[in-house]
Amino acid sequence: MDIMQEINFFHNSKSAIDETLGVTKDKKITKDVEKDQEGEESINCYNDENEDEDDQAEEEPLVKDLNSMDDVKSFRKRHRIHIYGTDIPNPFSSFDDLESKYNFQPYICKNLKNSAYEKPTPIQMQAIPIMIHGRDLMAMAPTGSGKTLAYIIPMLHDLKGPEKIGYRALIISPTRELAQQIYREFKKMAVGKKFKVCMLTKATAATQAQTPHLREKFDILISTPLRLVHAIQQDIIELKNVRHLILDEADKLLELGFLEQTDEIFAACSNVKLQKALFSATFPSSVETLANDFMKDPIRVVIGLKNAATETIKQKLLYVGQEEGKLIAVRQLIQEGFKPPVLIFVQSIERAKELFHELIYDGINVDVIHSERTKAQRDSIILNLKQGKIWVLIATELMARGMDFKGVNLVINYDFPQSVQSYIHRIGRTGRAGRSGEAVTYYTKDDAPYLKSVVNVMKESGCEVPDWMLQLKNPSRESKKRLRKKPIERKTIDTRSTYDLKKMIRKKEIIEASKKRKARKLAIASDKNEDINKGDTIYGDKKEKKDKSKGDNNSKYESKSLLSNKKTKQNSRKKKIN
């Protein structure tokens, strides 16, 4: 077996690992949206009327100027840019246009070149001009298509330079990991300007609470919703000067779980010139409807197909029979050899732990990440994955949103995703920035009723799908709503025999019973001690009273004897006189 001495999955570090790994080791927006978010997950094509298959082909020649409407229309068609709205600014074709056409400061173009960004992606071509013109924006583009840069560049251009008036730009992310990634990208693009970028954490919030004057020194704030809401409620953060509000992974932030927090953040941004922009790879119709209520004359940009995966991902469905078949399939993959790193998604923290305990003894470098792990542990895991020290990472939905791992070669949906949006974001961790990737989704007979939702995504993304799958019925709206709210109940991930499992359960029950008995004994002993102490107190009180009463009696006897002595003396005196 040949072992590579150096490998660089993410083009930033080296690690010893097997090359082929053929080893076995403005408005308040709160409203009742539950009805609207029932899972409208159909794949809608946003093609122009005359768009044909040639749209997806042809390498576009470099276009310097887009003067006529025909040029603009042809350009958008080639790049599959679909736009909806009024007075839409024209796209641009080269980063050189930023300096020549839009008077961008030289440091931005220099940082783009230093970061090896050679030409803009379709979402950047259209979203950047829209944001430069101050318009509200809803931008939907495939995973790994450069959405983060599409709002960082125009934001830095508009802010011009640092000012000591407090936060002027706010980016909201559903996860801390994505917020950290955005923070790093901002720092990279802001080199040459002394912008103060703050990622809101427990520590930074405490610092600003203790030293309020520090708040005015920051220009850009990046945060998760709940952390920011707490800071707003405690008057630690003021958002009155915010001019740019970005929701990254906006469809997630406008779901019921986050909506109330997002609502409060919107209410705190009181600047009348506030520009709002929503970015995501997926936008259910319910989210689009909701967004229109709090955005002012927004422009909608869709790259390719709505709610579709990127075409660089080879997607596959694998029937595994029962739950036990999933673990067999994973181990078979390990035995046959695979190219790391690999992400495996499961539906719950408990199942992530179970799968980790199964694979840790299979001779591969495996780890698990979920919300119960500490901040330090999660940071270490992500770093180790980037450095190639982790070959297989087991994850929950925590890792499905926005995280940019350019070197991930394979995504395995161990548990069937609960929605089309979840599926698209999960598999979007591979095949990023034009690279190829592979995604395998395991399904059992319990998952069969929901299969067509994923089949639709595969078909629209250009993947081969068997005819019998295309003939399946689409799941009903009610069933999709149930699945979104509650995942399918599944057996424990464990390869031990039924006898061993029963034995283990019995052992746990015995241990629990023993603990309860000990607890009862301690409680009884404690009660007895209390009774004894009470008894001593009562006995002591009685004894004291008894001693007191004895003392009283003795004093009576003493007084009687004194009287009798007096009488005796008096009688003896009388006798002497006589």
Cα dihedral 204, 208, 213, 215 in deg (nearest 10):
60
pLDDT at 547 over 50: yes
Q: Evaluate the CA torsion angle 149, 250, 85, 268 in order and state its sign.
A: negative
Predicted confidence (pLDDT) per residue in 359-401, tens digit: 998 888 999 999 899 888 988 998 898 888 999 999 998 777 8
Tell me: do 484 and 464 sit in the same domain.
yes
CB 166 within 8 A of CB 218: yes
Tell me: do 356 and 448 sit in the same domain.
yes
User: 101: buried, middle or exposed (CB in 10 Å: 19+, 13-18, 0-12)?
Assistant: middle
Question: Alpha-carbon distance 196 to 187, whole Å?
Answer: 9
CATH number at residue 139: 3.40.50.300
Q: pLDDT class for 411, splitting at 50, 70, 90?
A: very high
Helical spans, DSSP H, in 270-393: 285-294, 324-336, 349-359, 375-386
Residue 85 lies in a domain: yes
pLDDT at 100 over 70: yes
CA contacts within 13 A on the Cβ side of 92 = 19
Tell me: do 119 and 157 sit in the same domain.
yes
Mean pLDDT over residues 499-519, rounded?
78
Q: pLDDT class for 532, splitting at 50, 70, 90?
A: low
Cα dihedral 91, 93, 94, 97 in deg (nearest 10):
-50
Residue 438 lies in a domain: yes
Question: Alpha-carbon distance 134 to 239, whole Å?
Answer: 19
Peptide bond preceding 341 in cis form (omega within 30 of 0): yes
Predicted confidence (pLDDT) per residue in 307-343, tens digit: 788 888 999 999 999 999 999 999 998 888 888 899 9
State which of 245, 273, 303 marks the end of a domain: 303
Tell me: do 276 and 402 sit in the same domain.
no
Taken as a whole, the chain contains a residue count of 578
Listed in sequence order, the residues at least 6 apart from 76 whose beta carbon sits closer than 8 Å to its beta carbon are 82, 83, 91, 126
Tell me: do 247 and 214 sit in the same domain.
yes
- Angle separating helix axes 176-189 and 147-159, nearest 10 degrees: 50
Question: Alpha-carbon distance 254 to 292, whole Å?
Answer: 12
pLDDT at 545 over 80: no
Token pair listed for 250: 């906006």
pLDDT at 460 over 70: yes
Which CA distances in Å does 387 have to 10, 265, 367, 401, 408? 7, 36, 14, 21, 12
Number of domains forming the structure of the chain? 3
Tell me: do 401 and 268 sit in the same domain.
no
Residue 336 lies in a domain: yes
Residue 74 lies in a domain: no
pLDDT at residue 329, rounded to an integer: 94
Question: Alpha-carbon distance 358 to 361, whole Å?
Answer: 7
Tell me: do 263 and 117 sit in the same domain.
yes
pLDDT at 495 over 80: no
Tell me: do 469 and 359 sit in the same domain.
yes
Tell me: do 396 and 453 sit in the same domain.
yes
pLDDT at residue 48, rounded to an integer: 41
Which residue has better confidence, 43 or 123?
123
Residue carrying the six token digits 């974001």: 425
Mean pLDDT over residues 546-558, rounded?
53
pLDDT at residue 144, rounded to an integer: 87
Listed in sequence order, the residues at least 6 apart from 409 whose beta carbon sits closer than 8 Å to its beta carbon are 338, 339, 340, 341, 342, 430, 437, 438
User: 563: buried, middle or exposed (CB in 10 Å: 19+, 13-18, 0-12)?
Assistant: exposed
User: 242: buried, middle or exposed (CB in 10 Å: 19+, 13-18, 0-12)?
Assistant: buried
pLDDT at residue 366, rounded to an integer: 94
pLDDT at residue 196, rounded to an integer: 94
Which residue has better confidence, 76 or 559?
76
Tell me: do 100 and 237 sit in the same domain.
yes
Residue 24 lies in a domain: no
pTM score over 0.75: no
Per mean pLDDT, which range of 183-197, 314-328, 343-357, 432-446 is the poorest? 432-446
CB 439 within 8 A of CB 411: yes
Residue 171 lies in a domain: yes
Question: Alpha-carbon distance 183 to 288, whole Å?
Answer: 27
pLDDT at 541 over 60: no
Which CA distances in Å does 259 have to 100, 240, 244, 264, 351? 41, 21, 19, 9, 27
pLDDT at 559 over 70: no
Tell me: do 482 and 514 sit in the same domain.
no
Residue 332 lies in a domain: yes
Question: Alpha-carbon distance 109 to 128, whole Å?
Answer: 14
pLDDT at 43 over 70: no
Domain limits at 473?
313-493
Mean pLDDT over residues 72-101, rounded?
93
Tell me: do 199 and 223 sit in the same domain.
yes
Q: What mean pLDDT, rounded, does the chain reach? A: 82
Which CA distances in Å does 547 have to 197, 460, 556? 80, 99, 14
Q: pLDDT class for 54, splitting at 50, 70, 90?
A: very low
Number of helices (H) and strands (E) in the chain: give both, helices first.
19, 16
Mean pLDDT over residues 222-250, rounded?
95
Residue 560 lies in a domain: no
pLDDT at residue 50, rounded to an integer: 39
pLDDT at residue 57, rounded to an integer: 39
CB 112 within 8 A of CB 146: no
